[in-house]
Amino acid sequence: MLKVIFILADGSKRSVDMAPGETIKEAAVQNMVPGIMALCGGTCTCGTCHVYVDKAWRDRFAPPLPEEDALLDGTAAERRDTSRLSCQLPLTEEHDGVVVTIPELQQ
């Protein structure tokens, strides 16, 4: 199991365990982590699973594809250089302990 650490909009932390191959979005939804709406179910069409990947972890994920990049321009919360859609972040052993912050707004 891999540990995913979510920093919620209120500043509190929530840690969940997930199997490799799942996405950060799935880790949030399956463990009822508040703040990840994922209205499209993880198909990279809505932008409501926006997170900020901790800078120490950002380069451990593949860069965003054009579809994700375009959606990040229209998210409700400010786009930052660490912005990603959590549905596009599959977990591998390399991601054990990854830290992501959930923005205050998703819609």
Q: Is 80 exposed, middle or buried (0-12, 13-18, 19+ CB in 10 A)?
A: middle
Q: Which amino acid is at 58?
A: R
Confidence at 107, pLDDT banded by 50, 70, 90: confident
How confident is the model over 64-105, as pLDDT tens digits?
Answer: 999 999 999 999 999 999 999 999 999 999 999 999 999 999
Q: What is the pLDDT of residues 12-57, one digit of tens each?
A: 999 999 999 999 999 999 999 999 999 999 999 999 999 999 999 9
CATH number of 2-101: 3.10.20.30
What are the domain boundaries of the chain? 2-101
Q: How many helices (H) and strands (E) does the chain have?
A: 3, 5
End-to-end CA separation in angstroms for the chain: 31
